Amino acid sequence: MGVKIIIKNKKAFHDFEIIDKLEAGVSLVGTEVKALRDGRVNLTDGWVDFDGFDVWLKEVHIGHFSHGNRNNHEEKRSRRLLLHKKEIAKLSHLVASKGMTVIPIALYFKDSRIKVEIATARGKKQFDKRESNKQKDVNKKLRRVLKER
């Protein structure tokens, strides 16, 4: 079956400098899985919080399932991430010591499981964003010139 991408957080690449990526499982309830199959999700405001050896995905909006009943899930509830203790310790050390943050980059189906790709990131300043936009324009022009030849 492979990987089927549900959503990517494109805004994260604009607002943050991505340092390292990691794959994690997500603990979900039934109607959330059905809503994800419909593509009712928004990652742009999402972030990861540490509570001891528990890791939580916060502020990720998963809309209500259209055919759900009164037992539908809360849209912005905290969802537990499934990681190994060594991975949790590494991430929490980076956040505590180097002032980085952990954000969700992508949400996807991997075989029959739902995975989230999280990344340790450092926030960009406004001038960093302008520099990266200039670099993208230069690379785009370079590819266009190489394609014409």
Task: Convert the pLDDT of each residue in 14-31 to its tens digit.
Answer: 888 899 999 999 998 878
Q: What is the pLDDT of residue 64?
A: 82
Give the long-range contacts of residues 137-145, CB within 8 A, separation 24 or more.
none
Mean pLDDT of 124-132: 78
| β-bridge mates for residue 18, sequence order | 121
Please write the tens of the pLDDT for every residue from 40-90: 899 988 999 999 889 999 999 988 877 766 777 778 889 999 999 999 999
Q: How far apart are CA 39 and CA 59, in angstroms?
A: 17
Show the CA angle centred on residue 70, arms to residues 8 and 33, nearest 5°. 30
Mark out the alpha helices in the chain (DSSP H runs). 10-15, 30-37, 85-98, 126-148
pTM value > 0.85: no
* CATH superfamily ID and name for 3-124: Small protein B (2.40.280.10)
Q: What is the pLDDT of residue 67?
A: 75
Pairing label, strands 54-58, 47-51 = antiparallel
Instruction: Delimit the domains of the chain by residue range.
Output: 3-124
Q: What is the pLDDT of residue 31?
A: 83
